[in-house]
Amino acid sequence: MTQTFHDQGRRLGILSVDEGTTGTRAGVVLDSGTVAHVAYRTIAVRHPDENSVEQDPTEIWTTTLDVCREALAWARANNVEIAALALSTQRATAMLWDRRTGLPLVPACVWQDRRYARHLLAYEDEWDDVLTARTGRPVGSRAPFYWAARQIAEVPAVAAAYEAGTLVFGTVDTWLAWKFTGGAAHAISASSAGSAGAYLLREHAWDREWVEQLGFPLELLPDLFADDDHGYGSTDPALLGVALPLAAVMGDQHAALIALGGLSAGQGMCVYGTGTFVDAATGNTPVLPVPGVTGVLAQPGWRQGDTTHFSLEAYCSTTGSALRWLCDDLKFFASPTEIGELAKQAGPGGHEWFVPALAGIRTPAWRPQATAALSGLTLATTRADIARAVLDGIAHSVCDLIDGVAETMRAPFRQLRVGGGVTGSDTLMQLQADIVGLPLERAADSATASLRGTAYLAGVREGLWSSLEEVVEAQPRGHVFEPTTTAEQRGEQRKAWQAVLAPHLH
């Protein structure tokens, strides 16, 4: 490891940013790999209609700058020398701005936006198989390039900037890198480009045929960079008071995969939050989606130098949000903690079932119109039984993701670390281990995984660590939940769940 100046009373660190959908954090990741300080600010999310999700690019930028300045002030006060800046972002949220003014021309189109889903359906028959083979994902229900093309066609200010040659397009990472470097870098990292839906996995290049099909001008495409690319350069010293190398730029889930130890094929993570992401590393060759398993996408896990480390990802949108809905909206329970405590009082899962499909189903089948259900209730049903059914439903839904990724890999997980706020429930984690049939290690500091993962990549580039393996394996181990059920019992539980879920898939 590079000399860390402990003998001089100084430590080295990375200033790391995690720009999420509902808030932005900046933290100082020390040369030990731990996070010493985190500054946080919320960001507004607007829903102009039932399908549109928007944010203010200026708010994203000013909030990011604010938390970075706070974290740097902490570093100065505590004699920590910052070696570089690292960014992780919410991936496919798209923006358009004017190069002359540096100002956004329309609100950002957030990755959850579905306003053009019906229009994209027209492309599925011709393009789904083609795109899956090239980019690891089908057409889907959103396309940043289609959104941008529509803005050029329909919004006068955007059309004028395009005609003047001053229009700039990018995702959140493009926007922040452009702002931090004073407009010097107009680029997108491989891990973010994969989520944009037009990234050729094997070539590290844009699928220009698909982009043109969507009506997007090819000259507006950002440069494709590695996630630790030297081409980003350094930050404008007028912004932070220092010129820092912009040493890593990543999608947030990809950064979390690194921090949670998904470094080689078969190692994976499961992060429970509002929804749940399951990601697994697959090595240096992409593993493509397979027929019969929907919602599992191939993507660049991260590109380090000239080498791409690939991954698979599956996602369900309502796990933590289902708990919040039951507690805050319906007032069935006082808190998620109460759900866990009550569930411990219930016996093994009985006739009661909860299907948490409050925003549709992705895996094992893509059913965006599917709805949730609480079924099997009798006069003998207790609140404890319902609490147990809720946790069982979440655990089975996540198991569907894990099974889908494993089936796509054609191999079981070799390691699965879990994180996120919902993993604080020991009851849910034990149920999850029993249903999956694998040991689950609850990461010791999962809340900062995105901050740490992108900082680790930056730190390796800048010489703080010799490899990602060195810093990841130096982190403290978490609590391991061992399965307590037999294979036969798990098979019966999964068969019962599949029977309950089947009506929601038709």
Q: Give residue-wise pLDDT tens across range 150-162.
A: 999 999 999 999 9
Q: 39-45: long-range contacts (C-beta < 8 A, 24 or more apart)? A: 39/66, 39/67, 39/68, 39/70, 39/71, 39/74, 40/67, 41/66, 41/67, 45/21, 45/110
pLDDT band per the 50, 70, 90 thresholds, residue 51: confident
pLDDT the model gives residue 367:
85
Burial class of residue 6 in the structure, from the number of CB atoms within 10 Å of its CB (0-12 exposed, 13-18 middle, 19+ buried): exposed
Tens digit of each residue's pLDDT (9 = 90 or more) over 169-190 = 999 999 999 999 999 999 999 9
Mean pLDDT along residues 304-322: 93
| Average pLDDT, integer, range 347-362 | 86
State the pLDDT at residue 9: 66
Q: Give the per-residue pLDDT at 8.
A: 54
| Amino acid letter, residue 200 | L
Domain ranges (residues) in the chain: 6-251, 261-442+476-506
Under a CB-based contact definition with an 8 Å cutoff, are residues 456 and 465 in contact? yes
d(CA 197, CA 135): 7
Q: How confident is the model at residue 148, as a pLDDT?
A: 98
In Å, how far are 108, 366, 424, 457 from 261, measured between CA atoms? 32, 29, 19, 13
The pLDDT value recorded for residue 6 is 42
- HSE-up of 464 (CA within 13 Å, CB side)? 26
Q: Predicted confidence band at 114 (pLDDT cuts at 50, 70, 90)?
A: confident
pLDDT of residue 2: 38
Does 427 score more than 90 pLDDT?
yes
User: Given this chain, do its domains 6-251 and 261-442+476-506 carry the same CATH topology?
Assistant: yes
pLDDT score of 226: 98
Contact 407, 259 (CB under 8 A): no
What average pLDDT does range 124-142 have in this prediction?
94
Block residue for tokens 């004073």: 182
Count of CB atoms situated within 10 Å of the CB of 424: 14
Determine whether domain 6-251 maps to CATH 3.30.420.40: yes
With 0-12 CB in 10 A as exposed, 13-18 as middle and 19+ as buried, what is 153?
Answer: exposed
Q: How confident is the model at residue 7 (pLDDT cuts 50, 70, 90)?
A: very low
CATH number of 261-442+476-506: 3.30.420.40
In this predicted model, what pLDDT tens digit does every residue of 257-277 receive, in sequence order?
A: 999 999 999 999 999 988 899
Give the pLDDT mean for 102-119.
93
pLDDT value of position 179 = 98
Residue 420 has pLDDT above 80, yes or no: yes
pLDDT confidence tier of residue 492, bands split at 50, 70 and 90 = very high
With a cut of 50, say whether residue 1 has pLDDT above it.
no
pLDDT the model gives residue 141: 85
Identify which has the larger pLDDT, 7 or 360. 360
Q: Is the pLDDT of residue 4 over 90?
A: no
Residues in the chain: 506
